[in-house]
C-alpha cells in the first residue's frame, strides 16, 4: 500500500502542503483525520487590502493540529496520536481552500484568522496611519457565502451577474466596487462596510467579578479588574477610537454577567464622572517592600463631600454595596464606561441569513 502521508512538501497550484513529524498513522484516512482537529494557528506575512497591488508578499501559513484515536491502541480503552499539517501560499487561496475543504473546523479557523489579522494589523510595530483598514474582498465574499449558505451560481443569476465574474471576485482576481458591495450586502443581509473594511477591534485585557473575590497570585476583591491574557473583541463603529479599551464582567447571577464594558484610556482622572459607571485606577506605593503598581476597578464613581471618593457596586443585588470607600489622592485614572455590550450582539447569527 502506498503511504498516504509523506514528509515531502507537495504543491497544488499556488498552494503548498507539508506534514510534520510524527506523521499520521498510515491506516487512518484523511477524511477521518479531519474530524479530530484540535487547534489551528495562522501566520500572516502581509494582508493585501482593497487598494493594494502587491501580490508577492500576500503570504500566509495555516498550521492544523490533530489528535486522533490510535488505530493500533496500546493501552486499555485506546490511546491518542498527534499530527501536524501546514498549508501555505497566497492568503486568498489559503483562506478559500481551508473554508472549502475543512468544514469540520471552519469556526475555529475563522477565529484564528481574525486573531492573526488583529495581531498583524493593529499590533504592528509600525503604527498604522489609520485604524480603518481595507479588507481583502475575496476573503470577505468567501466568508459571506459560507455564512449565508448561498450558492455563487444562483447568487449571480439572482443579481443578473456574470457568474464568471463572481468566481473571479471569490478568487481575488477581480475587485468589487462600492456599488457592488451595497448590492451584494442587500442579498447577504449584511452591512456593506463589512465587505470593504476589516472589523474594528480592541484587546479585552481584563475581567471583573462584582460579587466574589478572585484568588490568583494575590487577592482580587470584588470589583477589582483581574488582568487576563488579552483576547480580541469587536468594537461598534459608532464608539470606536484608537484609544478604546475593554474589560468584561464575569459574575454568575448578575444582570451584568458577560457584558463588555468599553472605555477610552487616558492618563488623567476625569472628575466629571461622578455618578457614572467608570473604570478607576488607584496607585499603590509601598517603598518598604518595593511595590509600585496601579489597581483598576469597575464601578460607579462617587465624589464625596469634603474630598475623597467611593466606588459603588453597579449591581444593586450585590451584598457588597461599595467596591472601595474613602479613596484619597492616589486616584490616577478615571474614565467613564461609554458602552456596555453583550457579546451575543457582536456575533452574527448565521441562522438569520
pTM: 0.68
* pLDDT at residue 197 is higher than 60: yes
Q: pLDDT value at position 48?
A: 47
Q: In what helix (H) or strand (E) does residue 345 lie, and over which residues does it extend?
A: helix 343-346
* Angle value at C-alpha 156, between 153 and 158, nearest 5 degrees: 110
For the cut 70, the answer to whether the pLDDT of residue 154 exceeds it is yes
Mean pLDDT of 219-228: 92
Question: In terms of Cα–Cα distance, which of 233, 156, 140 is closest to 191?
Answer: 140
- 58 pLDDT more than 80: no
Instruction: Return the DSSP state at 271.
Output: G
What is the C-alpha separation between 115 and 121, in angstroms, rounded? Answer: 10
Half-sphere exposure of 261 (CA within 13 A, CB side): 27
| Among candidate residues 255, 251, 262, the one with its CA nearest the CA of residue 224 | 251
Percent of the chain with pLDDT over 90: 32
Which residue has cell 483598514? 133
pLDDT, mean of residues 37-53: 69
Quick one: pLDDT band at residue 347, thresholds 50, 70, 90?
low
Per-residue model confidence as pLDDT tens digits over 264-297: 988 777 777 889 999 999 887 665 655 668 899 9
Query: Residue 287: its pLDDT value, please?
Result: 58
Domains of the chain with CATH codes: 10-92+109-122 (no CATH), 137-199 (1.10.260), 201-344 (2.10.109.10)
Cell of 263: 472605555
Give the pLDDT band (50/70/90) at residue 49.
very low
Contacting residues for 317 by C-beta, under 8 A, at least 6 apart: 253, 254, 255
Instruction: Tell whether the model's pLDDT for residue 57 goes beyond 60.
Output: no
317, 242 Cβ separation under 8 angstroms:
no
Q: What are the start-end ranges of the E strands in the chain?
A: 10-12, 15-20, 37-44, 59-69, 80-90, 201-208, 214-215, 219-220, 226-234, 244-249, 260-264, 277-286, 291-303, 309-312, 322-327, 331-341
Does 205 have pLDDT greater than 70?
yes
Q: What is the DSSP string of 69-127?
A: E-SS--STT--EEEEEEEEEEEHHHHHHHHHHH-GGGHHHHHHHHHHHHHHHHHS-SS-
Q: How far apart are the first and last CA of the chain?
A: 46
- C-alpha cell at position 121: 494589523
Q: What is the dihedral of CA 74, 80, 81, 82, to 10 degrees?
A: -160
Q: What is the per-residue pLDDT for 123?
A: 60
Q: Which three cell numbers stand for residue 322?
A: 461599595
Amino acid at each position: 500500500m502506498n503511504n498516504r502521508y509523506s514528509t515531502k512538501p507537495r504543491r497544488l497550484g499556488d498552494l503548498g502542503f507539508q506534514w510534520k513529524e510524527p506523521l499520521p498513522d498510515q491506516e487512518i484516512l484523511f477524511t477521518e483525520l479531519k474530524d479530530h482537529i484540535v487547534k489551528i494557528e495562522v501566520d500572516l506575512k502581509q494582508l493585501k487590502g482593497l487598494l493594494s497591488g502587491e501580490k508577492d508578499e500576500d503570504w500566509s501559513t495555516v498550521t492544523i493540529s490533530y489528535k486522533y484515536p490510535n488505530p493500533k491502541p496500546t493501552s486499555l480503552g485506546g490511546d491518542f496520536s498527534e499530527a501536524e499539517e501546514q498549508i501555505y501560499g497566497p492568503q486568498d487561496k489559503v483562506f478559500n481552500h481551508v473554508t472549502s475543504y475543512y468544514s469540520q473546523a471552519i469556526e475555529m479557523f475563522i477565529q484564528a484568522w481574525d486573531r492573526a489579522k488583529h495581531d498583524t494589523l493593529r499590533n504592528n510595530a509600525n503604527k498604522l496611519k489609520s485604524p480603518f483598514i481595507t479588507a481583502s474582498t475575496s476573503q470577505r465574499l468567501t466568508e459571506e457565502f459560507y455564512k449565508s449558505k448561498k450558492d455563487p451560481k444562483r447568487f449571480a443569476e439572482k443579481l443578473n451577474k456574470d457568474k464568471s465574474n463572481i468566481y473571479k471576485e471569490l478568487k481575488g482576481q477581480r475587485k468589487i466596487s462600492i456599488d457592488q458591495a451595497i448590492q451584494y450586502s442587500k442579498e447577504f443581509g449584511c452591512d456593506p462596510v463589512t465587505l470593504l473594511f476589516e472589523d474594528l477591534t480592541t484587546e479585552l485585557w481584563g475581567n471583573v467579578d462584582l460579587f466574589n473575590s478572585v484568588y490568583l497570585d494575590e487577592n482580587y476583591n470584588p470589583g477589582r479588574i483581574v488582568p487576563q491574557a488579552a483576547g480580541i473583541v469587536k468594537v461598534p463603529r459608532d464608539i470606536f477610537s484608537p484609544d478604546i479599551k475593554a474589560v468584561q464582567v464575569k459574575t454568575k447571577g448578575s444582570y451584568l454577567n458577560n457584558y463588555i464594558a468599553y472605555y477610552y484610556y487616558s492618563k488623567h482622572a476625569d472628575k466629571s464622572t461622578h455618578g457614572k459607571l467608570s473604570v478607576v485606577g488607584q496607585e499603590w506605593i509601598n517603598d518598604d517592600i518595593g511595590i509600585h503598581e496601579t489597581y483598576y476597578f469597575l464601578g460607579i464613581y462617587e465624589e464625596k463631600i469634603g474630598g475623597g471618593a467611593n466606588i459603588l457596586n453597579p449591581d444593586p443585588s450585590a451584598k457588597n454595596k461599595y467596591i472601595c470607600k474613602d479613596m484619597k489622592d492616589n486616584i490616577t485614572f478615571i474614565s467613564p464606561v461609554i458602552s456596555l455590550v453583550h457579546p451575543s450582539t457582536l456575533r452574527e447569527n448565521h441562522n438569520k441569513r
